[in-house]
Structure 1
Amino acid sequence: MANRLADATSPYLLQHRDNPVDWWQWSEEAFAEARRRDVPVIISVGYAACHWCHVMAHESFEDDQVAKVMNDGFVAIKVDREERPDVDAVYMTATQAMTGQGGWPMTVFATPDGEPFFCGTYYPKQHFTQLLESVGTAWREQRDEVLKQGAEVVKAIGGAQLVGGPTAPVSAELLDHAAQDLFKNHDRTNGGFGGAPKFPPHMSMLFLLRHHQRTGSAEALDVVRHAAERMGRGGIYDQLAGGFARYAVDATWTVPHFEKMLYDNALLLRAYTQLWRIDGDPFVKRIADETAAFLLRDLGTPAGGLASALDADADGVEGLTYAWTPAQLVEVLGEEDGNWAADLFRVTDKGTFEHGSSVLVLARDIDAADPSLVARWTSVRERLLEARAARPQPARDDKVVASWNGLAVTALAEHGVLTGSPASRTAAIELAEVLAARHLVDGRLRRVSRDGTVGEPAGVLEDYGCVAEGFLAVHQITADGRWLGLAKQLLDVALAHFGTGEGGFYDTADDAERLVTRPADPTDNATPSGLSALVAALVSYAALAGGTSYREAADAALEKVTPLFVKHARFAGYSATVAEAALTGPYEIAVATTDPDDPLVAAAYRYAPPGTVIVVGEPDRPGVPLLADRPLRDGKPTAYVCRGFVCDRPVTDPAELIARLRG
């Protein structure tokens, strides 16, 4: 026997290629081997940036005695949850059903047919060794009970992802309920929702911003501002280099779990950019600008595309790169600046993290009106960042995930046009080019690539939705009809191969690999669900190109998740965001102009209603329906404001356009 991970494309699997465990990659051959040997399967699921995945690997999978028990009694399969979200979804549902909770690493014992009969997450070495022996004994001596348990679990998880409650079309009342549900769960002291651990509520923020735009709700805007401020000042945000960590282990956003994920930062970039669009707060813009810079600087890969994540650990120690003591600040900055930085970043002798060290938080604003203070702040950050670069650095998971890069395309496109950042605008287009050229193979999406080579796993629904939405964002900022056509291609595949036949969507295609059950989770979690991502693209495409069938498909799918709006709005943030756009129209704005920097263009972007699609370009651009038959009026840039392809009188004056959009 031998470890079979050496030729994997996944950095997570490659981390385990030297284990004494005889790991298999997920494959039919692995299950066939289990049937041949008549042994159960261990399915170990994790991801490269996962701290506790590393701990279990060091304690158990690198141990020769533990490995011998695994090799003698089981077929061991290692799965990267980011590469195979379909496999992860099936077994995470089983784990949650059996234990009441989930997480990674996920440890699943299954029959040779893949039916899970015992599930858990992280196990310390002694407990894991005992568990291996117990499961092995049960397989040999109580086989009938084990098989019965597996069949019952499969039956249970087959219906576990259905949304309960009566469905209804999207309405203002339902979206008001969603907002009220979020208000009830708002942490009025620390911002965000719920207690520890606390995750950045990016999708709920996007929904509440659109809700505020539609209704004028001051509370919705205040909730978003509160979360944005507390996160931006907290340890969850990298105060030196920008970018957000995955979550905070406390309720105050002080100490993060240090991994930085592409999807979190893409979604937070959108949230901060859209908040700045509404309130113009320079602090919010700074966080957006630095987050965009983090994406391009720290996650950009040489072959194109953005890497998935930065690890939580460096040299096997969580947070080693990021934490500071007062003495370390003085050592780098000198006595005066070191003490000033300790006060500014709340670094104390007691510490907020481990061994008397602290995670940097921002105690107060730096007054931009005082140039000397800004210069000192800039100098301190640069010197600390330079010193930090000499420390051990977290590893990077450099695989390119289609859906997460799609999220980044949309975020960077929005940041580019709203803030005027040419770097973000260019990056959005270049990322879209990578996805189109590398991940779109024979008309179908592939999930991952690495070092310029596309992997085998097929794209899941979230890939089609997020990439299509990204292509539509690039269509809007370039007025290039090619991107509209590519988005249509993806949407047509999704409608043809992922639909349930009853308005909903499965997460895997009808011709994808068959698992023990076909996942169909409509809830938004760390990322938008496949359903909500696809619906976002369908609504935008229908507005940009017409075609009632795409809008009808979006409306039917949204009906499936409206029960979540009332009682579980935190798990329907993205679908509620899309629903706000759908309820508003969305508006369609075409600005016919040869000057993309005209004030009329800026007014359209700044004051557009929720979910508006905007295309700026010369009249009658080929492949751009919104610019068809939209001439300049009196030789001036001209805005056409439409809703459902019914248009108001053309506008050439920015003030008049602003008044119309506000009205």
Structure 2
Amino acid sequence: MPNRLAAATSPYLLQHADNPVDWQEWGPDAFAEARERGVPVLLSVGYAACHWCHVMAHESFEDEATSVYLNEHFVNVKVDREERPDVDAVYMQATQAMTGQGGWPMTCVLDHDGNPFFAGTYFPDRPRHGQPAFTQVLTALVDAWENRAEEVAGVAERIRAHLQGAVVPAGADPIDAAVLEAAAATTEREFDAVHAGFGGAPKFPPSMTLEFLRRRGPSAVVDRTLEAMARGGIFDQLGGGFARYSVDAGWVVPHFEKMLYDNAQLLGLNARWGTPLGDRVARSTADFLLAELLTEQGAFASALDADSDDGTGHAREGAFYAWTPAQLTGALGDDAAYAADLYAVTDAGTFEDGASTLQLLRDPEDPERAESVRRRLLEARTSRPRPARDDKVVAAWNGLAISGLLDAGLRLSEPAYVEAAVRCAGFVWQTHWVDGRLRRASRDGVVGANAGVLEDYGCLATAYVELAAATADGVWLERARELLDVVVAHFAVGDGAWFDTADDAERLVTRPRDPADNASPSGHSSLTHALLEYAALTGSGEHRELAERSLAAVVEIARRAPRFAGWSLAAAQTALDGPVEVAVVGPDDEARAALTRAARTIPGAVVVAAEPGTPGIALLEARDTVDGRAAAYVCRHLVCERPVTDPALLRG
């Protein structure tokens, strides 16, 4: 019999709708029930593509005896972290404070006011590797709740006080050239000179940090890391797109879930890299988005699962993507040995059970044969059971996808990518913009009730400014302004920083405020980019000043942990350099296109190209051709140098 998640819109919650656990969604009803029954709230947070969420569900939440105990002693609440990033942020901060680490599934136990007094992540069904069984944890928690109430209240109060006091201090100084130089030096010292990227295992794509370094000029750190990811198992060598992270330090074996936010960022970054390998990866990643994440409405789904049926009725991580030599033979016949050498498939395997992830460690000597093999393997893979898709549409991540598709479409001269970006942007505005405010997520074209958070406003406003520049259509600039107006009115802290939730959002234990980047840009850093780019196109001093104050607010993170401020540092580098604004005016011909392509090689530049006299964008005002020829005006703060007609004078 379905529990109280049966009417949810979240694919993650629906995965648990048939659990014997009497789950319900986050909300005041759950806490009212807990008060009435005199039991604590058990909060379980995860997301649809999460491998270990599936494992814990199968081991514990589908188990009758465990579920009976949970239903008797707790009010059980499920949260999709991607729909409620505010709830996730608060309790992840508590989990990290109490355990020293975080991750999903996240398990917290709360009092009737939402204060956590216990937190952890995955718990096995039996004691394993020094971890207690989930049922042992539950029994101890119930004993504490019933017999040591003062101790529980004391822990809850201490954690509440910690959460309310744990605020990253806003800096008083700007991020100046010295801060940027020190941040770049620290980042380069942390570079993995053996495998590229940063840190050991697991290793995540450092998209934002690489963009910061790229904007500073030629960088071996950028080149080596992008090449290592492009050639490694983290990149789907057959169908395009990147997995969420590599479980090893060498980019060989990924955690196979594919997230929209990763692929959107890496799509744009590879397109901006401007190398033949980067162009190939950008095309392949854009094509992956359009082939596998595009929804009927023209927006993009959130993720593909890591797990899929292995052909025997059992879900297994990586089953869709890994290959054995025998499987290559079945798909390719006489070309199997060539494919094994090309893609580093070994008899021993690089993954599990003799299977290998596919790597492309060198460029093929015979590109036509290699392409034939790739297409045949891709076709053979279509007969395998596919990973499930989390098809909810998240506003922030679709903003990132719009930006990535624009970068790829404009730099690779692929109008289909630009058209897809425009269609996506239109859907998000028509569906997620409700009564003058942004909603976080939709599914099947129906918007959900959850309010947009700062990253939704920041990523989407950035995308709309970039759409205005790409299309010379001022309507996108107007929509960006509406988004930014809401942020200024409802999210400001007052010291240059920004809250992650609006002032009229649901009250939680604490109001989240985290300017640090993680796998995707923070709301703070994404908003900073939106403010800077809006100011570049409009000349708005108000928005430029807000951007500069936002940058000052993250100066301490930039000094202490620059890799967690990569996107803010990228914005700061652009702000320090100008930013550069380029207006290209002329008839829609090859001369204008050549100038526009050259202008887009300038790191961080905001570029708009249009016919003379195009209205709605201040950067284009009073710009004209030179002797009837297309001309480019390079400007800073809308003050322009003499126009040029030679693309060679614009190269970044």
Closer, same or farther: CA 109–470 of 1 in aligned 2, 3 Å: same
Provide the residue aligned with 1:100 in structure 2. 100
Offset, 1:347: 1.0
Which residue is 1:192 aligned to?
Answer: 197
Residue 602 of structure 2 corresponds to 609
Contact 1:639 1:650 in 2 (8 A): yes
**Residues 527-536 or 561-570, more deviating:** 561-570
- Match of 1:170? 175
Report the 3-state secondary structure (helix = DSSP H, G, I; strand = E; otherwise coil) of the residue aligned with 2:583.
Answer: strand
- Equivalents in 2 of 1:178, 1:117: separation in Å? 37
- The residue number in structure 2 matching 1:320 is 319
Q: How has the CA–CA distance of structure 1 residues 161 and 295 changed in structure 2, closer, same or farther, with 3 Å as cutoff?
A: farther
What letter matches 1:187 in structure 2? D
The structure 1 residue matched to 2:135, chosen from 129, 132, 146, is 129
Contact 1:584 1:610 survives alignment (8 Å) = no
Once residues 296 and 468 of structure 2 are traced to their aligned partners in structure 1, the CA distance between those partners, rounded to angstroms, is 25
Q: Distance in 2 between matches of 1:443 and 1:602?
A: 38
The question of whether the paired residues in 2 share the 8 Å contact of 1:169 and 1:559 is answered with: yes
Deviation at 1:565, TM superposition (A): 1.9
Does the aligned pair in 1 maintain the 2:20–2:64 contact within 8 Å? yes
The CA distance in 2 between the partners of 1:603 and 1:488, in whole Å, is 25
Q: CA deviation at 1:482?
A: 0.3
Distance 1:2 1:607, change over 3 A: closer
Hey, what's the Cα distance between the residues in 2 that align with 1:481 and 1:175?
34
In structure 1, the partner of 2:62 is: 62
Deviations 1:8-35 (Å, cap 9, x if unpaired)?
Answer: 1100000000000100101111111111
- CA–CA separation in structure 2 for the residues paired with 1:480 and 1:364: 43
Paired position in structure 2 for 1:208 = 213
Letter in 1 for 2:328: L
Of residues 403, 415, 437, the one that matches 1:410 is 403
Work out the CA distance in 1 between the residues paired with 2:74 and 2:135: 13
Find the residue that maps to 1:598 and give its secondary structure: helix
Q: Which residue of 1 aligns with 2:145?
A: 139
* 1:178 Cα offset (Å): 1.1
Does the CA-based 8 Å contact 2:584-2:596 persist in structure 1? no
Q: Which of 284, 298, 309 is residue 290 of structure 1 equivalent to?
A: 284
Structure 1 segment 192-341 matched on structure 2, within 5 A: 192-212=197-217, 218=218, 221-276=219-274, 281-315=275-309, 316-334=315-333, 336-341=334-339
Equivalent residues of 1:586, 1:610 under 8 A apart:
no
What secondary structure, in the 3-state scheme, does the structure 2 residue paired with 1:93 have?
Answer: helix
Quick one: which amino acid aligns to residue 398 of structure 1? D
Residue in 1 that maps onto 2:480:
487
Q: What does 1:428-447 align with in structure 2 at a 5 Å threshold?
A: 428-447=421-440
Deviations 1:265-303 (A, max 9, x none): 011111111111xxxx21221111101111111100112
Please state if 1:621 is matched with 2:627.
no
Q: Is the 8 A contact 1:580 1:610 kept in 2?
A: no
The total of aligned residue pairs comes to 641
Aligned-residue offset at 1:643: 0.5
Helix, strand or coil at the partner of 1:21: coil
Cα pair distance change 1:613/1:348, threshold 3 Å: same
Tell me if structure 1 keeps the 8 A contact 2:43–2:109.
yes
- The change in CA–CA distance for 1:637 and 1:266 in structure 2 (over 3 A counts) is same
Q: Secondary structure at the match of 2:222?
A: helix
Task: Determine the structure 2 residue equivalent to 1:24.
Answer: 24
Aligned 1:70-109 pairs, distance under 5 A: 70-109=70-109
How far apart are the structure 2 equivalents of 1:601 and 1:531? 35
Whether the aligned pair in 2 keeps the contact of 1:589 and 1:604 (CA below 8 Å) is no
Q: Answer yes or no: is the 8 Å Cα contact 2:595–2:632 preserved in 1.
A: no
Instruction: Summarize the Cα distance change of 1:605–1:144 in structure 2 as closer, same or farther, 3 Å threshold.
Output: farther
Structure 1 stretches lacking a partner, 5+ long = 213-217, 368-372
Deviation at 1:339, TM superposition (A): 0.7
Encode CA deviations 1:283-334: one digit per residue, 9 max, x unaligned: 2211111011111111001122100000000022101111111111111111
Q: Compute the displacement of 1:601 (Å).
A: 4.6
Give the aligned residue type for 1:105.
Answer: P
Letter in 2 for 1:227: T
Deviation of 1:567 (Å): 2.6
**Aligned counterparts, 1:376-415, within 5 A:** 376-415=369-408
Q: Alignment partner of 2:554: what SS?
A: helix
CA contact (8 A) 1:43 1:79 kept: yes
**Greater Cα offset, 427-436 or 250-259:** 427-436
Give the direction of change, closer, same or farther, for the CA distance of 1:633–1:293 in structure 2 (3 Å limit).
Answer: same
Provide the C-alpha distance between the structure 2 equivalents of 1:109 and 1:636, rounded to a whole number of angstroms. Answer: 68
- Using structure 1 for the length normalisation, give the TM-score: 0.95
Q: In structure 2, what is the Cα distance between the partners aligned to 1:530 and 1:199? A: 20
- One-letter code aligned to 2:16: H
Which residue of 1 is the match for residue 129 of structure 2?
none
For residues 567 and 188 of structure 1, the distance between their equivalents in structure 2, rounded to whole angstroms, comes to 22
Please give the alpha-carbon distance, in whole angstroms, between the structure 1 residues aligned to 2:68 and 2:207: 44
1:635 deviates by: 1.7
Q: Deviations over 1:76-130 (max 9, x none)?
A: 0000000000000000000000000000000000002110000000001131111
- Hey, what's the Cα distance between the residues in 2 that align with 1:517 and 1:28? 16
> What's the counterpart of residue 156 of structure 2?
150
Aligned-pair CA distance for 1:2: 6.6
Q: CA contact under 8 A between 2:196 and 2:225: conserved in structure 1?
A: yes
Rounded to whole Å, the distance in 2 between the matches of 1:597 and 1:566 is: 45
CA distance in 1, matches of 2:83, 2:565: 24
Whether the 8 Å contact between 1:596 and 1:617 is mirrored in structure 2 is: no
1:416-437 deviation digits (Å, cap 9, x = unpaired): 1111011111111111111111
Gaps in structure 2 of 5+ consecutive residues: 127-132, 310-314
Q: Which amino acid aligns with 1:51?
A: H
Alpha-carbon distance, 1:645 to partner: 1.7
Distance, in Å, in 1 between the alignment partners of 2:438 and 2:598 is 31
Distance across 2 between alignment mates of 1:152 and 1:358? 48
The one-letter code sitting in structure 1 at the alignment partner of 2:587 is T
1:345 aligns to 2:351 (yes or no): no
The CA deviation at 1:241 is 0.4
Partner of 2:501: 508
8 A contact 1:181–1:567 mirrored in 2: no
Q: Is the 8 A contact 2:599 2:605 kept in 1?
A: no
Q: Identify if the C-alpha distance between structure 1 residues 154 and 605 changes in structure 2 by more than 3 Å, giving closer, same or farther.
A: farther
Deviation per CA, 1:621-655: give whole Å up to 9, x if none: 22111111112222221221111121111223333
TM-score under structure 2 length normalisation: 0.96
Residue of structure 2 in register with 1:215 after alignment: none
Q: Match for 1:325: what amino acid?
A: T
**1:223 aligned counterpart, secondary structure:** helix
Distance across 2 between alignment mates of 1:68 and 1:452: 37
One-letter code of the match for 1:177? Answer: A
Contact 1:418 1:605 in 2 (8 A): no
Query: 1:153-190: CA deviations, max 9, x gaps?
Result: 011022324147x5421211111111111101100111
Distance verdict in 2 for CA 1:43–1:605, change over 3 Å:
farther
The percentage of aligned residue pairs carrying the same residue is: 56
Aligned to 2:637: 644
Query: Which residue number in structure 2 is paired with residue 370 of structure 1?
Result: none
Letter in 2 for 1:15: Q
Q: How many angstroms apart in 2 are the aligned matches of 1:85 and 1:374?
A: 44
> Given that residues 167 and 561 in structure 1 are in contact (C-alpha distance below 8 angstroms), is that contact kept between their aligned partners in structure 2?
no
After superposition, the Cα gap between the structure-2 partners of 1:356 and 1:138, relative to the gap in structure 1 and judged at 3 Å, is same
Give the corresponding residue for 1:36: 36
Which string of whole-angstrom CA distances, capped at 9 and with x for unpartnered residues, describes residues 330-388 of structure 1? 11111x31011111111111111111111111132124xxxxx2221111111111111
Letter in 2 for 1:292: A
Q: Which amino acid aligns with 1:342?
A: A
Q: CA deviation at 1:400?
A: 0.3
